[in-house]
Structure 1
């Protein structure tokens, strides 16, 4: 049962939201589907990849590129995912995005 009771802290009303991101993971009070969060993580991974595009296209060794990928790109896609009960489809989406 939903209530519209306002919550105040130090006489400041706290905003009521249906979803929020904390730390690095989207939480929702209504939507229990993982699809939006998986898509958000894939987008975050591509954004991180794009920020390092010069490194990945540069003339440095593949070992260093792999280290940068593993430390800067991969965590944006996988942070918190290991605690989820993933469906096969969700697992395939994340794996496919990582391989691309």
Structure 2
């Protein structure tokens, strides 16, 4: 990480210095190269999307429609903006 205490201004507004940010749909960090936090964030996003559609998945509708909801709403929350990654055992069990 490059330490720089010099403030940056755009249109007389100081830009905030952050250690991580999400753009677009992927977490970037200036402090660590470890992807554990990004992987956990995506798993959480997928679980949240799945929970939002729980009634559909438990409902009495066809598997084809459930699959469409999963592919349209849950899967993109977990994988948006990134390639498929192999998970370490630690990441699969969290």
Deviation digits for residues 12-53 of structure 1, max 9, x if unmatched?
101000001111111100111001000000000000001111
Instruction: State TM-score, norm by structure 1.
Output: 0.82
Deviation digits for residues 59-83 of structure 1, max 9, x if unmatched?
110100001001100111112331x
Runs (5+) with no aligned partner, structure 2:
none
After the TM superposition, which parts of structure 1 deviate over 2 Å for at least 4 consecutive aligned residues? Answer: none
Paired positions, count: 92
Measured in 2, the distance between the counterparts of 1:51 and 1:87 equals 26
1:49 and 2:50 matched: yes
Measured in 2, the distance between the counterparts of 1:66 and 1:78 equals 16
Runs (5+) with no aligned partner, structure 1:
none
